[in-house]
């Protein structure tokens, strides 16, 4: 059996906001997602203010990930999914867990912080199944990504620490700070002096001083 969902999803105005709603839940939570997307203009299909319950139903609707529930059977729709199944699953997990934020970030502190080199999407993280055990990994979940990043947690965190150490100021640099500051100050003083000079010069040329108008000499003056 085939059920076409394409006709059901002709909603180009709401589509980006609905996608944003899912992304925001994944990034923060249900509540702020509702607040932000409605503030950005997400309404009901008929353009009315979106009730909270409708929003809650919407973010649990598998239709947006490409699925259709028909008489209790879950089938792949023929419509283009609005969001990835991965994002949908993350959102559902989050909604079912309540407030899982802390736990997730303790395990994967770089999740949502490091971006994929292939497409720029923020990497997600989780436990990936290996042949014998589960591994903590970070990866790019973007379907269209041409060069999706997949990296073990240990490796990514080690690389990140390495990067931080590169960014830390060296003793040599710290010792230079007074010299740099003095040089900056001199340059700044020079700029101020030049500006002042230019200002005064312009005042000199544009300066208008009303001259006393000598009265015309009249014949009567010589009397
Ligand atoms: Zn990517």
Q: How far is the CA of 35 from the centre of ligand 1 (A)?
A: 29
Q: How far is the CA of 50 from the centre of ligand 1 (A)?
A: 33
Average pLDDT over residues 153-163: 85
Q: How far is the CA of 12 from the centre of ligand 1 (A)?
A: 25
Q: Could you tell me the pLDDT band of residue 50, with boundaries at 50, 70 and 90?
A: very high
Q: Is the pTM of this model over 0.85?
A: no
For tokens 């589509």, name the residue: 15
pLDDT attached to residue 1: 42
Q: Is the pLDDT of residue 99 over 60?
A: no
Q: How far is the CA of 147 from the centre of ligand 1 (A)?
A: 6
pLDDT digits (tens, 9 = 90+) for 107-121: 787 887 788 988 988
| CA–CA separation, 150 and 147 (whole Å) | 9
Indicate if the alpha-carbon torsion angle 94, 83, 151, 167 is positive or negative: negative
């Amino acid at each position: 059996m085939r059920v076409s969902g394409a006709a059901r999803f002709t909603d180009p105005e709401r589509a980006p906001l609905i996608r944003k709603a899912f992304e925001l839940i994944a990034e923060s939570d249900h509540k702020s997602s509702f607040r932000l997307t409605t503030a950005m203009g997400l309404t009901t299909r008929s353009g009315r203010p979106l009730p909270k319950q409708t929003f809650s139903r919407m973010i649990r609707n598998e239709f947006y990930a490409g699925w259709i529930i028909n008489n209790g059977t879950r089938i792949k729709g023929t419509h283009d999914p609005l969001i990835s199944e991965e994002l949908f699953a993350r959102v559902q997990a989050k909604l079912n867990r309540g407030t899982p934020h802390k736990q997730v970030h303790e395990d994967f502190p770089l999740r949502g912080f490091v971006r994929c080199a292939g497409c720029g999407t923020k990497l997600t993280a989780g436990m990936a199944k290996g042949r014998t055990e589960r591994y903590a990994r970070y990866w790019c979940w973007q379907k269209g990504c041409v060069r999706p990043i997949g990296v073990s947690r240990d490796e990514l965190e080690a690389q990140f620490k390495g990067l931080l150490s590169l960014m830390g100021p060296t003793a040599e640099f710290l010792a230079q700070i007074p010299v740099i500051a003095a040089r900056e100050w001199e340059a700044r003083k020079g700029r101020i002096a030049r500006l002042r000079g230019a200002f005064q010069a312009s005042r000199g040329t544009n300066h208008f001083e009303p001259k006393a108008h000598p009265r015309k000499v009249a014949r009567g003056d010589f009397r």
